[in-house]
Amino acid sequence: MDIIFLRGLQIETTIGIYDWERLIKQVVILDLEMGTDIRKAAASDDIVDTLDYKALSKRLIGFVESSEFLLVETLAERVADLLLGEFAIPWLRLTVNKKGAISGASDVGIIIERGGSGA
């Protein structure tokens, strides 16, 4: 299996369990690894034969920006569901980083793996 990746995608959204978090936008940072087979695209040299990561990132940005989840876990699960369903990705690893959520920590978040044997 080949992997197409997208790293450091920063998106502003409403996320958090505290009242003050419901009133502001916070940045979440997404890192994605998506399993695919690039051989057909490599042979044809045509975007229709591969995962269009520009279209994927636009869809992802729109979804996350308009979401209002309480938990990072819920956001991660919904993003994975969206990508697996709409983009026919057989496997993905997603990191959702809520940078600055814990004082003194540079990063905090969750990593999930869905599809294939990680589902």
Model-level pTM? 0.91
Non-local (6+) Cβ contacts of 93 within 8 A are: 32, 33, 111, 112, 113, 118
**Which position among 25, 40, 98, 99 bears the catalytic label?**
98
Q: Which domains does the chain have, with CATH numbers?
A: 2-118 (3.30.1130.10)
What are the pLDDT digits (tens) for 66-93?
999 999 999 999 999 999 999 989 999 9
Q: What is the pLDDT of residue 106?
A: 86
Rounded to whole angstroms, how far apart are CA atoms 24 and 16? 10
Q: Catalytic site residue 98?
A: yes
